Amino acid sequence: MRFNVERIRTDFPILNREVNGKSLVYLDNAATSQTPNQVIDVIVDYYRRLNANIHRGVHTLSQEATDAYEEARIKIQKHFNIAKSHEVILTSGTTHSINLVASGFSSYLSKDDEILVSAMEHHSNIVPWQMLCERTGAVLKVIPMNQNGELVMEDFHKLISERTKLVFCNHVSNALGTINPIEEIIKASHKVGAAVLVDGAQAAPHIKADLQALDVDFYTISAHKVCGPTGVGMLYGKEFWLKKLPPYQGGGEMIAEVTFDKTTYADLPHKFEAGTPNICGGIAFGAALDYMNSLGFDDIAVYEHELLEYATSELLKIEGLKIYGTAKNKTSVISFNIEHIHPYDIGTILDKLGIAVRTGHHCAQPIMDFYKIPGTVRASFSFYNTMEEVDVLVEGVKRAKNMLL
């Protein structure tokens, strides 16, 4: 076998856990991925050997911690083929990254401007833009989706115009797994002079995006979706935009000079990195990307696709089960419901069987409204899941159905 999943699983100590007396089957990877020893060791080593504040100390520990943190920035830069390391802003995650951009555009929009957002966004890629529209009077318009959970691109091309200033879309939908045609969206947006922010939170564990080739203006990810820790992430921004946008927060680290008359701001990336950052998290983020790259994104994609196909065909054998999100181009995410059963009840029974899935609206209520459902059960697979775990899930769902109907 090309992809040695049994060996890979030994990197993840948590996968040996029992939950409710059963072996854990972790299928909530779209919410947060698990952490391999290679990343846990970096976190432990940081606090055992390196812990110090960065960018400001002359002492050895501070310099070593600074070097490790800046090395992580370079790893992120290389991973996403970003032209300049100062175009990588380290944030607390996707939500922080998006809010930073939304806040920065406040002074550049007015009531004659339009913002386009896709119908399948996570709340973190909806609410900050609504708040921006409230501040500026700009109008939010929605790129619709179809029953398969794909964007209706003809409508997108009709909606975009000279009035469009910003376009927001996720690379991959967290609730449906749909891979969106972001290349087409970016090209058409640039033709009318609109900037594009792509939320890459759900793409990052599956797709190694080349941000220069995409020519995207902003791209955001969270480390905890790619085997890294929580509370750290990336905002990529083209140098042009990062220079143009004002700082998001004021404080230490982000200044050049402070007097009570006037403060000047630090150069990129520090202009957007006020305060002591998540130093350990940033270093571990770099280690997490190293780990994923050591497995290889092409091999990960092939294996996860096999898991997706097998799980889809086995689940569809269950009468009354409906999958939401049937796009041809999708990642290893299956959102489903069983007729007459609330998703929460299925999730609760699966948990009793040691199976971790997500239930609810997945922070994407407009998608649930579109399908007229309260939520779904979402099983999201990672490269460390096995075909046997798919079987355990399918048996669990059958059992839940028998108990609940």
Min separation Cβ 391 and ligand PMP, Å? 27
Please tell me the distance from the alpha carbon of residue 287 to that of residue 292, in angstroms, as a whole number.
9
Do the beta carbons of residue 312 and residue 334 sit within 8 Å?
yes
How far, in Å, CA of 403 to CA of 405, rounded? 6
Of 34 and 125, CB closest to ligand PMP:
125
- Please identify, using beta-carbon distances, which residue of 30 and 346 lies nearer to ligand PMP: 30
Residue 161 vs residues 29, 154, 155, 183: alpha-carbon distances, Å: 37, 13, 12, 17
Is 363 catalytic? The answer is yes
Q: How far apart are CA 362 and CA 378, in angstroms?
A: 8
Dihedral sign from CA coordinates of 196, 83, 34, 70: negative
The sign of the dihedral angle between the CA atoms of 397, 398, 400, 405 is positive
For residues 77 and 124, which CB has a smaller minimum distance to ligand PMP in the complex?
124
- Are the C-beta atoms of residues 106 and 113 closer than 8 Å to each other? no
Options 133, 169, 227, 363, the catalytic residue:
363
Tokens of 280: 């350990």
Q: What is the nearest approach in angstroms of ligand PMP to the Cβ of residue 334?
A: 15
Give me the least distance between CB of 124 and ligand PMP, in Å please: 4
DSSP designation for 266: P
> Which CB sits closer to ligand PMP, 338 or 364?
364
Three-point CA angle 334, 153, 179, nearest 5°? 30
* Phi (first) and psi of residue 41, to 5 degrees: -60, -40
Nearer to ligand PMP, 380 or 396 (CB): 380
Give min distance, CB of 174 to ligand PMP, in A.
3
End-to-end CA, the chain? 40
Residues that bind ligand PMP in the complex, under the rule CB under 6 A: 93-95, 122, 124-125, 170, 174, 199, 201-202, 222, 363
Decide if 155 contacts 143 (C-beta within 8 A).
yes
- At 382, list the tokens: 């990672």
Output the smallest distance, CB 122 to ligand PMP, in A: 4
CB of 202 to ligand PMP, least distance (A): 4
In the complex with ligand PMP, the residue whose CB is nearer, 93 or 396, is 93
Q: Which residues are catalytic?
A: 363
